[in-house]
Amino acid sequence: MKTILIHKAKIINEGNSFKGSLLIEGDKISKIFKDEVPANILKNAEVIDGEDKWLIPGVIDTHVHFREPGLTPKGDILSESRAAVAGGVTSFMDMPNTQPQTTTLELLNQKAELAAQKSLANFSFYLGATNDNIDEIKNVDPKRVCGIKVFLGSSTGNMLVNGEALEKIFEHAPVLIATHNEDEEMIKANIEKYKAEFGDNPIPIIYHELIRSSDACYKATEKAVELALKYNARLHVLHLSTAKELALFENKPLAEKKITAETCVGYLWFDDSDYEQLGAKIKCNPSIKKEKSRLALLKAVENGNIDTIATDHAPHLLSEKEGDALHAVSGIPSIQHALPMMLELAKKGNFTREQVIEKMCHNPAKVFNIEKRGFIRKGFYADLALIDPNSHYKVEKNDLLYKCGWSPLEDATLSYKVTHTFVNGHLVYNQGAFDESNKGRLIDFAR
């Protein structure tokens, strides 16, 4: 059995930071040393120098769009999982809006088979809800499926769910329900309003924030919360983007919550003032909102109203980003840089680095009841990231690993760089080099 020692790193885990060493045996963490490491272990293990670096649990990104099957010119499981592990992400949960859409258990299993052959990170897949697949939803295996994805706004395809079907999903889903919340009728009314205002002229990208408005988000999120309370369902609200929605969530210990909230790094990093420079590169659904919302979301990460941070990594071809507020596609690639971005926001005093690890590693494992991942603990899988906290580099186009080949973060300067990433004890990413000989695994859930 191969043994690896990560030696003399600053370990950041469960609210604490301390200098220590960690021994990996096989796919698990076997020992954590706060003092000196015994000489026989130093002699017999493969030693990785952690001096002046931070060691954290691997990030669990519970919200990605890796585009396979059917949309692979934008991204695929191999390309985007490479970007993921380069960013310290060791597990991901992929959304159902592929081609075909993942709305049956057969298609869900096919996706998992693809990932087992290609993914460098661990994986799980959401089953997409429709107005007529309640029988598929009822038959989900809670130990193998992360959740049911419900669109309360038509962000993609024909997956908008409403009426009696929506009630049935909240009543019968055997796993967590993850919702995209934007009110369809309000969005349609806003589109007609601005079409009338601009006539035959293009509607500027800045109006995307007004079309997919804070009120549209609030109304749909309020509806999702009402349904969860009515049926005592387990609800996880995805990508909160507004200050207004935060009032719908309780600030209490995570273990006491049946309704939890996610935001994404894009909503914490950008606001509507960035549309002028970046245009459709930051067009996403829900939309990037005003500075007031960004600041409120940052505060909610610190105070506990926000439970998890994900990416909503959604690559598109740059050519698809051309056009006005109605025609440029929505979605941002971000998984390679999300962890450094969050640590940069912590450095600026918005929250602590320990809270970054809580929201990106620990809480995703808790919210989804993931087996033996998300923490640095003896006997847990060795999903780990080693970070250089004094790197100071510019995000360059040539360094991007996204298949789409672009990022709204280009030319930004970051201070934190992932140098090593371990998945199930295997060093998959080592200072720019990949070892693709071992693939990630289907995530197990303790339900």
pTM of the complete model: 0.97
For residue 410, what are the CA distances in angstroms to 33, 318, 396, 398?
Answer: 39, 13, 6, 10
Report the CATH number of the 3-55+380-434 domain: 2.30.40.10
Domain range summary for the chain, segments of one domain joined by + = 3-55+380-434, 59-367
Structure confidence at residue 157 (pLDDT): 55
Structure confidence at residue 161 (pLDDT): 82
What is the CATH architecture assignment of 59-367? Alpha-Beta Barrel (3.20)
For residue 156, what are the CA distances in angstroms to 115, 226, 249, 320, 392?
Answer: 22, 24, 26, 15, 37
Burial 377-412 (b: 16+ CB within 10 A, else e): eeebbbbbbbbbeeeeeebeeeebbbbbebbbbeee
Place of tokens 């090593």: 420
Structure confidence at residue 213 (pLDDT): 97
| Cα 13 from Cα 403, distance rounded (Å) | 32
Low-confidence spans in the chain with pLDDT less than 70: 153-158
Structure confidence at residue 163 (pLDDT): 83
Structure confidence at residue 400 (pLDDT): 98
Structure confidence at residue 308 (pLDDT): 98
Structure confidence at residue 152 (pLDDT): 85
- pLDDT tens for 51-65 read 999 999 999 999 999
Structure confidence at residue 35 (pLDDT): 87
- Name the amino acid, one letter, at 107: L
